[in-house]
Structures are given as C-alpha cells and as structure tokens.
Amino acid sequence: MRNLRADERISMELRKLYRQYGYLPYKVNQFEEYDLYMRNKRFLTSEHVLAFSDMDGKLMALKPDVTLSIIKNTCDSADTTKVSYAERVYRVPRGAKGFKEIMQTGLEVIGRVDAYAMGEVLMLASRSLAMISEDYALDVADLGIVSGILGETGLGDAQRARLLSLISDKNLHGLKETCAQLGVDDRTAARLCSLVTVYGPFDRTLPVYEQMDLPPACAQALRDLRAVLDMMTACGVKNINLDFSVVNDMNYYNGLIFSGFVCGVPQSVLSGGRYDYLMQKMGRKSQAMGFAVYLDQLERLFGQQRDYDVDLLILYDADAAQEQILAAANAAVTAGRSVRVQRAGETQLRARETVTISGEDT
C-alpha cells in the first residue's frame, strides 16, 4: 500500500468501505453515446464532452460523469439497488482550458430512498471525507426548504435561478437588492436572507430552522433533515453543517444535497444529493440518491516530497559481470528494498545507499 499514490490508496479504501455497507461494485463502459449527455447537459458540471465517431459513424463520448450511465443501465423495479464505482471521467475543470482525466469514486442508491437510506448515504459521505482528512466539513442543505420558500413568490425559473445563485454565493447585499427589484414580499425576503445568515453545526442550526416561520411546503424537508440529524447523532458522525449555500440545479435535484470539504484543498472534494427529478427526466419512476468523491485534488494534500527515489542505487561499468549485478539487485529486492541499476556516469537518482560494481572487482 505504501507505494500507491494517495488518490489510488484512498480510492481503494473508499471502495472497501462502500462494499462493507453492501454497495456492490459497478463497472460502466468507458464510452457512452454522446446523445445521453446532450439530453442532460445541465446535469453535468461542465458542458464540454470529449466526443469521437465510432466505427459505424455513431457519435460517442468519453464519459464526463458516471451517474447518468448507471441510471441508463438500471430499469425501474420494486427493488432497491445499491452500487459503488471507481471510474475515470473526462471533463474540463472550472477555469481550465482543456480536458482532464479525473478519478472519481462514489455510490448510488436507486429505488426506494427512505429516511434510513438518506442517513446511510450521508454517513458514508462523512466517513469518506474522514478517510481523506480528519479536518473535514460536510455541508448539507435541503432543496425542499428553498423551493418551499420560493414557491410562495410566484417567480419564474430565470428569476428563481438568480436568487438561488445569490444564496449560493452567500451574497446577502445582492439578495436584498434583488428581492426588492423583483418585488418579493418582505416576509419571503426575510426568509430567503435567513438562508444566507443562518448556518453552522447541524445540531445547533436545525432547531433554528424548525422554530422559524417557514411555509407549510417546507415541512417535509424539515422532517427529512430531522430524521437524518437524529441518525447522524446516533452514530456519532461529526462535522456536519447545515448550510443553504449548497445549491444545485433544481431541475435535477430535490431534497437533500450536500458538499464536502477537507482542510488544505481549496474546492469541494465531494458532492451529492437526491436526484429524483433526473430519474423522471430519464423516464424512471424510482427515487435516487448518491455522491461522488473527486480524487484529483488530493495530490496537493499529500504532496510531501520524498527524500529518496530508491533505497539502493547500483552503478556498474562496462566491464562489470552481469550475473553479479543481477544477483546484487535481486538480493536487495528480496530484502524488501527498492533498487535501481544503471551505468556509472549517467544522471543519478537520489538513493539511500549507492554501490558501484566494476569489472575490476571480479
């Protein structure tokens, strides 16, 4: 294990964790029909898809996302499926000018997503973050609250999206201004502003929302959050915050959504939520919830410099006996050391120990 890169090691540990909770490993094709992504463009974090023509002229894509493929390959049934995956995806990271291969590990529950399933997914999300770093934070929100409040405004989609993006930026001054511009009534404006100002540890923040005067449409969301909080408290999961700046496209997501951070990585490394609407768009009746962990960011977190490239460096010259070199190399490897054999005079690696074998020795 010690020779694995940090992202590979964590990916293995995560898969083991998911497996322990009965999320069966799922393998999806590396290629997918381009059309799948075009139909669900806004579900993707970036609209760019790496496409190419297949042998029969069909337009294919290197997958930028795993969830869509998993849904496509599951059919509606009365049973609940729990799967986990570790896949490479290809997308253009924010602000970047080209595609990047990203290692993504995650899980999905498809079928019936009840209070237990929501709690389990959230617990696994927080355990995943804890595996990366003890200093982590999982921000949870429920889109039911936001849409319950926005539902009373009678605003159109574009205006709702504007308000949502201000909430996501924690932009209180902008939110107040925009509410005034759009003619949102004072009570609703105050409720929206509280979504920006009231956040923090789950157990302290949820009671504040429960006491708040929220529209009846928020009741289900509050019940879901309470159920999840009680489960988290019972299993001793820490570092969970209620924070409504976590938002996602309401055309795909509903209910719980969350986003995870670890100290030392500037962007979120985990994101997930409940996406029943995506299921409906893809013609499925089942409910679904899941999350993905992005491992490409972790390089920086574990990027400590190694002092040595190898344990033993064996240098040999033109006259050295090959049997002798090989024997020395094999002896080191058998003893559990790493070894590099190279001609004397070439650029050397940094080694704990260096030995020279020359023809004169024989």
- Tell me the site size for another protein, rule CB under 8 A: 21
98 binds another protein per the rule CB under 8 A: no
3-state secondary structure of 189: helix
Task: Give me the least distance between CB of 262 and another protein, in Å please.
Answer: 8
354 binds another protein per the rule CB under 8 A: no
Member of 21, 92, 174, 324 binding another protein (CB under 8 A)? 174
Is there a contact between 106 and 85 (Cβ–Cβ < 8 Å)? yes
358 binds another protein per the rule CB under 8 A: no
Write b or e for each residue in 189-215: b if 16 or more Cβ atoms lie within 10 A of its Cβ, otherwise e.
Answer: bebbebbbeebeebeebbeebeeeebe
* Phi and psi torsions of 267, nearest 5°: -120, 170
Task: Give me the least distance between CB of 211 and another protein, in Å please.
Answer: 22
Task: Give me the least distance between CB of 239 and another protein, in Å please.
Answer: 9
Task: Give me the least distance between CB of 180 and another protein, in Å please.
Answer: 14
Nearer to another protein (CB atom), residue 45 or residue 324? 45
265 binds another protein per the rule CB under 8 A: yes
Pairwise CA distance, residues 260 & 233, whole Å:
18
Task: Give me the least distance between CB of 131 and another protein, in Å please.
Answer: 17
Pairwise CA distance, residues 257 & 244, whole Å:
9
Which amino acid is present at 143?
L
Task: Give me the least distance between CB of 95 and another protein, in Å please.
Answer: 7
Within a 10 A sphere around the Cβ of 103, how many other Cβ atoms?
18
Is there a contact between 34 and 52 (Cβ–Cβ < 8 Å)? no
241 binds another protein per the rule CB under 8 A: yes
Which range in 209-217, 230-238, 255-263, 322-330 contacts another protein by CB under 8 A?
255-263
Which amino acid is present at 48?
H
The CA–CA distances, whole Å, from 207 to 199, 225, 240, 273 equal: 11, 10, 14, 22
Within a 10 A sphere around the Cβ of 233, how many other Cβ atoms?
13
42 binds another protein per the rule CB under 8 A: no
Nearer to another protein (CB atom), residue 136 or residue 291? 136
Nearer to another protein (CB atom), residue 35 or residue 169? 169
* Phi and psi torsions of 156, nearest 5°: -80, 175
178 binds another protein per the rule CB under 8 A: no
Task: Name, in order, each residue with C-beta under 8 angstroms of 280's C-beta and a sequence gap of 6 or more.
Answer: none
Determine the distance from the C-alpha atom of residue 345 to the mean position of all C-alpha atoms in its chain, rounded to a whole number. Answer: 47
Pairwise CA distance, residues 145 & 218, whole Å:
5
169 binds another protein per the rule CB under 8 A: yes
Nearer to another protein (CB atom), residue 94 or residue 306? 94
The CA–CA distances, whole Å, from 67 to 48, 244, 284, 328 equal: 17, 24, 14, 51
Task: Give me the least distance between CB of 266 and another protein, in Å please.
Answer: 3
261 binds another protein per the rule CB under 8 A: yes
Which range in 49-57, 115-123, 169-177, 354-362 contacts another protein by CB under 8 A?
169-177
Which range in 123-131, 218-226, 266-274, 314-322 contacts another protein by CB under 8 A?
266-274
Query: What x/- string results for residues 125 through 144 when contact with another protein is judged by CB under 8 A?
Result: ----------x-x-x-----
3-state secondary structure of 254: coil
Which range in 148-156, 260-268, 333-341, 346-354 contacts another protein by CB under 8 A?
260-268
3-state secondary structure of 114: coil
94 binds another protein per the rule CB under 8 A: yes
Q: Which residues bind another protein (CB under 8 A)?
A: 94-95, 135, 137, 139, 169-174, 241, 245, 261-268
